[in-house]
Structure 1
């Protein structure tokens, strides 16, 4: 009489064990791939933030180079022109104009950062302000901070108020087509030599 063969049942158990093991391996592989993908995304984000922090993308506007076309450049002796995209005033000094400390300025273009060195308020140009109020009678038109009254000459020289120094300047270059390029990322602390920083402009 033939005996029953238990082989199919054993084969079924082995197959089930293989399937369970295959699922475990698939789960482990999925978790491993997910972990490495997450790490790669995190690292990529860190690198992008690092590059963004150091501004390696050649920005335009404030922080980069701003080009001012000839039609926006003030004539010598005219009121300064506000350049909002660069956060500066473009001044065209007429000879020693604005050189109230007599540093020896001979005129030219000057880019003055409009941020007050005191507490960072935006400094406007006041064409009607009389210098007699700050011991410079006869000179009309000054930069005057609305926050604490710091007053600056046309060359950004501080003559009154709590500001610790003159207005800061930005690097300026005259181009062949008559435009000027102002590097708003290159700001120099204001000093008595502001008038000497003016760039000649024909």
Structure 2
């Protein structure tokens, strides 16, 4: 058993078949990085899946966005989509500067990593074990927790400091290149397979 995110490490650490943690592989060659450019409004994207609404804590994002829309009506464009075809989803998602992924996890799933590889600022899991494991001194994403006031504060900071959106997008891409490159990850799996 090889967990690919920290949500499963603690639950399985004591299992006799636990072989350690290996991050998700991401083929960064297929994910074009575009440095974020903020011309007018900051675009915030929330994609809602029919089957993951509750488990991802989407209600907290929705409530936070209601407040952000009132507070920064002239400075943000908010795109919310609900269970739409993938090509349409990606087209809207690609327009965004900030992507709201989930607020109930300890680290990133594939959707978050793909957005980070494209240079988006992602609200997702980035708990202490994540930052410690990767020895991060600067944020590569925003740790999203199920707390509306916290989410509003984090979004407000970024809206009021758009240079941090650009900087975090660059750090996000570098992080995925360094820690999730699919070739390096495949080598980690091979090493475990060869030693067992």
Sort the TM-score into its range (normalised by shorter chain): under 0.3
TM-score (ref. length: structure 1):
0.19
Considering only CA atoms, is the larger Rg found in Structure 1 or Structure 2?
Answer: 1
Q: TM-score, normalised by structure 2?
A: 0.20
Q: When you count helix as a share of all residues, which structure comes out higher? A: 2
> Which protein has greater RCO, CA pairs closer than 8 Å, 6+ apart?
2
